[in-house]
Protein backbone atom coordinates (compact mmCIF):
# COMPACT_ATOMS: atom_id res chain seq x y z
CA UNK A 1 0.00 0.00 0.00
CA UNK A 2 1.35 3.40 -0.92
CA UNK A 3 1.96 6.05 1.69
CA UNK A 4 -0.54 8.24 -0.16
CA UNK A 5 -3.33 5.65 0.26
CA UNK A 6 -2.37 5.08 3.90
CA UNK A 7 -2.51 8.81 4.60
CA UNK A 8 -5.90 9.07 2.90
CA UNK A 9 -7.25 6.29 5.15
CA UNK A 10 -6.05 8.04 8.26
CA UNK A 11 -7.57 11.30 6.99
CA UNK A 12 -10.90 9.54 6.54
CA UNK A 13 -10.86 8.41 10.18
CA UNK A 14 -9.82 11.78 11.52
CA UNK A 15 -12.27 13.33 13.92
CA UNK A 16 -15.17 10.94 13.27
CA UNK A 17 -15.21 9.93 16.94
CA UNK A 18 -13.93 13.19 18.41
CA UNK A 19 -15.45 13.69 21.85
CA UNK A 20 -16.76 10.10 22.01
CA UNK A 21 -15.82 7.92 24.97
CA UNK A 22 -15.99 4.19 25.31
CA UNK A 23 -14.73 0.86 26.54
CA UNK A 24 -12.96 -1.98 24.76
CA UNK A 25 -13.16 -5.47 26.25
CA UNK A 26 -10.92 -8.20 24.84
CA UNK A 27 -7.39 -6.94 24.24
CA UNK A 28 -4.85 -9.69 24.94
CA UNK A 29 -1.98 -8.66 22.65
CA UNK A 30 -1.17 -6.94 19.35
CA UNK A 31 -2.80 -9.73 17.34
CA UNK A 32 -6.13 -9.22 19.11
CA UNK A 33 -9.02 -7.99 16.98
CA UNK A 34 -9.75 -5.62 19.88
CA UNK A 35 -6.31 -4.07 19.40
CA UNK A 36 -7.08 -3.42 15.71
CA UNK A 37 -10.35 -1.81 16.80
CA UNK A 38 -8.57 0.26 19.48
CA UNK A 39 -6.19 1.64 16.85
CA UNK A 40 -8.99 2.65 14.46
CA UNK A 41 -11.10 4.25 17.20
CA UNK A 42 -8.14 6.08 18.65
CA UNK A 43 -7.15 7.47 15.25
CA UNK A 44 -10.74 8.64 14.84
CA UNK A 45 -10.33 10.69 18.03
CA UNK A 46 -12.14 8.52 20.60
CA UNK A 47 -11.21 8.41 24.27
CA UNK A 48 -10.79 4.78 25.32
CA UNK A 49 -10.68 2.59 28.42
CA UNK A 50 -9.43 -0.99 28.12
CA UNK A 51 -10.58 -3.83 30.34
CA UNK A 52 -8.40 -6.82 31.11
CA UNK A 53 -8.42 -10.24 32.73
CA UNK A 54 -6.18 -10.27 35.81
CA UNK A 55 -3.51 -12.49 34.22
CA UNK A 56 -3.19 -10.04 31.31
CA UNK A 57 -2.98 -6.81 33.35
CA UNK A 58 0.70 -6.00 32.68
CA UNK A 59 0.37 -6.67 28.97
CA UNK A 60 -2.81 -4.62 28.58
CA UNK A 61 -1.35 -1.76 30.65
CA UNK A 62 1.67 -1.67 28.33
CA UNK A 63 -0.53 -1.63 25.22
CA UNK A 64 -2.68 1.12 26.74
CA UNK A 65 0.40 3.21 27.33
CA UNK A 66 1.49 2.72 23.73
CA UNK A 67 -1.81 4.13 22.47
CA UNK A 68 -1.94 6.88 25.09
CA UNK A 69 -4.98 5.26 26.72
CA UNK A 70 -5.10 6.49 30.30
CA UNK A 71 -7.31 3.92 31.99
CA UNK A 72 -7.44 0.15 32.25
CA UNK A 73 -9.99 -1.67 34.40
CA UNK A 74 -10.17 -5.32 35.47
CA UNK A 75 -13.21 -7.18 34.14
CA UNK A 76 -13.53 -10.94 33.97
CA UNK A 77 -16.96 -11.47 32.46
CA UNK A 78 -17.57 -14.69 34.42
CA UNK A 79 -17.98 -12.49 37.51
CA UNK A 80 -21.08 -10.30 37.94
CA UNK A 81 -19.21 -8.42 40.65
CA UNK A 82 -16.31 -7.58 38.34
CA UNK A 83 -18.68 -6.40 35.59
CA UNK A 84 -20.55 -4.18 38.07
CA UNK A 85 -17.33 -2.77 39.55
CA UNK A 86 -15.77 -2.18 36.14
CA UNK A 87 -18.75 -0.14 34.92
CA UNK A 88 -18.89 1.74 38.22
CA UNK A 89 -15.24 2.76 37.68
CA UNK A 90 -15.93 3.64 34.04
CA UNK A 91 -18.95 5.70 35.11
CA UNK A 92 -16.76 7.63 37.57
CA UNK A 93 -14.13 8.21 34.88
CA UNK A 94 -16.60 9.57 32.32
CA UNK A 95 -19.14 11.44 34.48
CA UNK A 96 -21.71 8.68 34.08
CA UNK A 97 -21.83 8.74 30.26
CA UNK A 98 -20.32 6.61 27.50
CA UNK A 99 -20.83 6.39 23.73
CA UNK A 100 -19.75 2.84 22.91
CA UNK A 101 -18.77 -0.59 24.21
CA UNK A 102 -16.71 -3.03 22.15
CA UNK A 103 -17.23 -6.65 23.24
CA UNK A 104 -14.45 -8.64 21.57
CA UNK A 105 -14.05 -11.76 23.68
CA UNK A 106 -14.86 -15.44 23.69
CA UNK A 107 -13.64 -18.65 25.25
CA UNK A 108 -14.02 -22.42 24.84
CA UNK A 109 -11.89 -25.29 26.06
CA UNK A 110 -9.33 -26.29 23.44
CA UNK A 111 -10.42 -29.95 23.46
CA UNK A 112 -13.97 -28.88 22.49
CA UNK A 113 -12.60 -27.21 19.32
CA UNK A 114 -11.80 -30.41 17.44
CA UNK A 115 -13.54 -33.64 16.55
CA UNK A 116 -17.33 -33.97 16.74
CA UNK A 117 -19.75 -31.40 18.18
CA UNK A 118 -21.89 -34.29 19.43
CA UNK A 119 -19.12 -35.08 21.94
CA UNK A 120 -19.31 -31.64 23.60
CA UNK A 121 -19.34 -31.86 27.41
CA UNK A 122 -22.00 -30.18 29.54
CA UNK A 123 -19.49 -28.01 31.40
CA UNK A 124 -17.66 -27.12 28.15
CA UNK A 125 -20.97 -26.04 26.60
CA UNK A 126 -21.94 -23.94 29.63
CA UNK A 127 -18.52 -22.30 29.85
CA UNK A 128 -18.48 -21.33 26.15
CA UNK A 129 -22.02 -19.92 26.37
CA UNK A 130 -21.33 -18.04 29.60
CA UNK A 131 -18.17 -16.25 28.44
CA UNK A 132 -18.89 -15.92 24.73
CA UNK A 133 -22.64 -15.22 24.61
CA UNK A 134 -24.21 -14.40 27.99
CA UNK A 135 -21.48 -11.86 28.73
CA UNK A 136 -22.84 -9.55 26.02
CA UNK A 137 -26.19 -9.28 27.79
CA UNK A 138 -24.49 -8.84 31.19
CA UNK A 139 -22.21 -6.09 29.86
CA UNK A 140 -25.10 -4.38 28.03
CA UNK A 141 -27.09 -4.31 31.27
CA UNK A 142 -24.20 -2.81 33.23
CA UNK A 143 -23.59 -0.21 30.51
CA UNK A 144 -27.27 0.69 30.00
CA UNK A 145 -27.43 3.56 32.56
CA UNK A 146 -24.27 5.12 31.11
CA UNK A 147 -25.74 5.02 27.61
CA UNK A 148 -29.09 6.28 28.83
CA UNK A 149 -27.48 9.29 30.52
CA UNK A 150 -25.66 9.90 27.23
CA UNK A 151 -28.86 9.86 25.19
CA UNK A 152 -27.86 6.62 23.44
CA UNK A 153 -24.81 4.77 22.20
CA UNK A 154 -23.44 1.78 20.36
CA UNK A 155 -22.59 -1.78 21.45
CA UNK A 156 -20.52 -3.88 19.06
CA UNK A 157 -19.66 -7.54 19.39
CA UNK A 158 -17.51 -9.95 17.36
CA UNK A 159 -18.75 -13.15 15.82
CA UNK A 160 -17.80 -15.69 13.17
CA UNK A 161 -19.45 -17.52 10.25
CA UNK A 162 -19.37 -20.73 12.33
CA UNK A 163 -22.40 -19.32 14.18
CA UNK A 164 -24.44 -19.41 10.95
CA UNK A 165 -23.05 -22.51 9.24
CA UNK A 166 -21.12 -25.62 10.17
CA UNK A 167 -17.38 -24.93 10.12
CA UNK A 168 -15.14 -27.90 10.89
CA UNK A 169 -13.85 -27.94 14.49
CA UNK A 170 -15.63 -24.69 15.50
CA UNK A 171 -18.21 -26.86 17.29
CA UNK A 172 -19.28 -25.51 20.69
CA UNK A 173 -18.07 -22.03 19.78
CA UNK A 174 -20.33 -22.02 16.70
CA UNK A 175 -23.32 -22.71 18.92
CA UNK A 176 -22.19 -19.95 21.31
CA UNK A 177 -21.84 -17.53 18.38
CA UNK A 178 -25.37 -18.42 17.19
CA UNK A 179 -26.62 -17.50 20.68
CA UNK A 180 -24.54 -14.32 20.62
CA UNK A 181 -25.96 -13.27 17.24
CA UNK A 182 -29.51 -13.90 18.39
CA UNK A 183 -28.73 -12.03 21.62
CA UNK A 184 -27.72 -9.02 19.48
CA UNK A 185 -31.25 -8.94 18.04
CA UNK A 186 -33.04 -9.23 21.41
CA UNK A 187 -30.75 -6.61 22.96
CA UNK A 188 -31.23 -4.29 19.97
CA UNK A 189 -34.99 -4.51 20.44
CA UNK A 190 -34.85 -4.01 24.24
CA UNK A 191 -32.43 -1.09 24.13
CA UNK A 192 -33.48 0.59 20.88
CA UNK A 193 -36.08 2.86 22.54
CA UNK A 194 -33.19 4.35 24.54
CA UNK A 195 -31.24 4.90 21.27
CA UNK A 196 -28.75 2.22 22.25
CA UNK A 197 -27.77 0.30 19.12
CA UNK A 198 -26.43 -3.27 19.20
CA UNK A 199 -24.61 -4.79 16.22
CA UNK A 200 -22.22 -7.62 15.41
CA UNK A 201 -19.23 -7.86 13.10
CA UNK A 202 -18.62 -11.31 11.65
CA UNK A 203 -14.88 -11.35 10.97
CA UNK A 204 -13.08 -13.77 8.67
CA UNK A 205 -10.50 -16.01 10.37
CA UNK A 206 -7.45 -14.15 11.71
CA UNK A 207 -4.51 -15.69 13.56
CA UNK A 208 -4.90 -14.65 17.22
CA UNK A 209 -4.43 -16.23 20.63
CA UNK A 210 -8.09 -17.33 20.75
CA UNK A 211 -8.23 -18.65 17.18
CA UNK A 212 -5.03 -20.66 17.61
CA UNK A 213 -7.07 -22.99 19.87
CA UNK A 214 -9.19 -24.03 16.86
CA UNK A 215 -7.81 -27.12 15.21
CA UNK A 216 -6.83 -26.53 11.54
CA UNK A 217 -7.19 -22.73 11.66
CA UNK A 218 -3.98 -22.09 9.70
CA UNK A 219 -5.12 -24.26 6.77
CA UNK A 220 -8.46 -22.48 6.77
CA UNK A 221 -6.77 -19.08 6.68
CA UNK A 222 -4.60 -19.99 3.71
CA UNK A 223 -7.57 -21.46 1.77
CA UNK A 224 -9.59 -18.29 2.26
CA UNK A 225 -6.83 -16.16 0.75
CA UNK A 226 -7.20 -18.26 -2.43
CA UNK A 227 -10.97 -18.45 -2.77
CA UNK A 228 -12.62 -15.46 -1.09
CA UNK A 229 -14.10 -12.93 -3.56
CA UNK A 230 -11.46 -10.36 -2.57
CA UNK A 231 -8.73 -13.09 -2.70
CA UNK A 232 -7.30 -12.09 0.64
CA UNK A 233 -7.50 -12.72 4.37
CA UNK A 234 -9.21 -10.44 6.84
CA UNK A 235 -7.03 -7.93 8.65
CA UNK A 236 -7.74 -6.58 12.14
CA UNK A 237 -7.48 -3.07 10.68
CA UNK A 238 -10.48 -3.78 8.40
CA UNK A 239 -12.51 -4.99 11.36
CA UNK A 240 -11.35 -1.90 13.27
CA UNK A 241 -12.66 0.47 10.62
CA UNK A 242 -16.04 -1.28 10.51
CA UNK A 243 -16.23 -0.98 14.32
CA UNK A 244 -15.40 2.71 13.87
CA UNK A 245 -18.38 3.08 11.51
CA UNK A 246 -20.68 1.21 13.91
CA UNK A 247 -19.49 3.28 16.88
CA UNK A 248 -20.03 6.52 14.99
CA UNK A 249 -23.16 8.47 14.11
CA UNK A 250 -22.65 7.42 10.47
CA UNK A 251 -24.40 4.15 11.39
CA UNK A 252 -27.18 5.80 13.42
CA UNK A 253 -29.93 3.99 11.46
CA UNK A 254 -28.45 0.51 11.99
CA UNK A 255 -29.20 -1.85 14.86
CA UNK A 256 -29.60 -5.61 15.33
CA UNK A 257 -27.36 -6.07 12.28
CA UNK A 258 -24.62 -8.56 11.43
CA UNK A 259 -21.93 -7.17 9.12
CA UNK A 260 -19.49 -9.61 7.55
CA UNK A 261 -15.91 -8.35 7.29
CA UNK A 262 -14.46 -11.44 5.67
CA UNK A 263 -13.32 -10.54 2.14
CA UNK A 264 -16.75 -11.75 0.99
CA UNK A 265 -16.16 -15.40 1.94
CA UNK A 266 -19.64 -15.82 3.46
CA UNK A 267 -21.41 -15.42 0.08
CA UNK A 268 -19.83 -18.53 -1.42
CA UNK A 269 -21.92 -21.67 -1.84
CA UNK A 270 -18.93 -23.78 -2.80
CA UNK A 271 -15.25 -23.03 -2.61
CA UNK A 272 -14.04 -24.74 -5.78
Ligand X SMILES: NC(=O)c1ccc[n+]([C@@H]2O[C@H](COP(=O)([O-])OP(=O)(O)OC[C@H]3O[C@@H](n4cnc5c(N)ncnc54)[C@H](O)[C@@H]3O)[C@@H](O)[C@H]2O)c1
Least spacing, CB of residue 125 vs ligand X, in Å: 16
Contact 177, 132 (CB under 8 A): yes
Annotated catalytic residue, options 94, 117, 160, 186 = 160
Q: Residue 71 or residue 194: which is nearer to ligand X going by CB?
A: 71
Residues 116-145 that bind ligand X (CB under 6 A): 131
Name the residue nearer to ligand X (CB basis): 46 or 73: 73
Does position 156 interact with ligand X (CB under 6 A)? The reply is no
Does 32 contact ligand X by CB under 6 A? yes
Q: Is 160 a catalytic residue?
A: yes
173 in Cβ contact with 202 (< 8 Å): no
**Based on CB atoms, which residue is closest to ligand X, 127 or 196?**
127
Of residues 64, 139, 158, 188, which one binds ligand X by CB under 6 A? Answer: 158
Q: How far apart are CA 181 and CA 156, in angstroms?
A: 11
Task: Give the binding range for ligand X (CB under 6 A) out of 70-78, 109-117, 142-150, 189-197.
Answer: 70-78
Active site residue 170: yes
Instruction: Give least dist CB 66 to ligand X, A.
Output: 16
Using CA atoms in the order 38, 248, 133, 214, what is the torsion angle rounded to 10 degrees?
A: -40
- CB of residue 264 to ligand X, shortest distance in Å: 15
Binding positions for ligand X, 213-272, rule CB under 6 A:
none
Stretch that binds ligand X, among 3-11, 75-83, 86-94, 184-192 (CB under 6 A): 75-83
In order of 62, 107, 232, the CA distances from 272 in angstroms are 44, 32, 16
Nearer to ligand X, 150 or 217 (CB): 217
Indicate whether 107 belongs to the interface with ligand X (CB under 6 A). Answer: yes
Among 48, 69, 206, 224, binds ligand X (CB under 6 A): 206
Residue-wise DSSP of the chain: --HHHHHHHHHHHTTTTTT-EEEEE---STTSHHHHHHHHHHHTT-EEEEEE-GGGHHHHHHHHHHTT--EEEE--TT-HHHHHHHHHHHHHHTTT--SEEEE------GGGSSS-GGG--HHHHHHHHIIIIIHHHHHHHHHHHHHHHHT-EEEEEEE-GGGTS--TTTHHHHHHHHHHHHHHHHHHHHHGGGTEEEEEEEEPP---TTGGGSTTHHHHHHHHHHHSTTSS---HHHHHHHHHHHHSGGGTT--S-EEEESTTGGG-S---
Number of residues this chain uses to bind ligand X (CB under 6 A): 27
Among residues 28, 41, 102, 167, the one that binds ligand X under rule CB under 6 A: 28
CB of 31 to ligand X, least distance (A): 6
Which position among 52, 94, 170, 186 bears the catalytic label? 170
Q: Which residues are catalytic?
A: 160, 170
- Could you list the residues that contact ligand X (CB under 6 A)? 26-28, 31-34, 53, 56, 76-78, 104-107, 131, 158-160, 203, 205-206, 208-211
Amino acid sequence: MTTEVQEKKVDVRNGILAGKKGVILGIANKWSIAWGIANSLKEAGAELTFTYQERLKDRVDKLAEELDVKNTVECDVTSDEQITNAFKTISDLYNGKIDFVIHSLAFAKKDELEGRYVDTSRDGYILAQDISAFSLAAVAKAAEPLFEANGGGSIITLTYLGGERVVKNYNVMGVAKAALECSVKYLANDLGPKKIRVNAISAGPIKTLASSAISGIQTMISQIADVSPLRKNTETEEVGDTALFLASDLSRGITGELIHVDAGFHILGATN
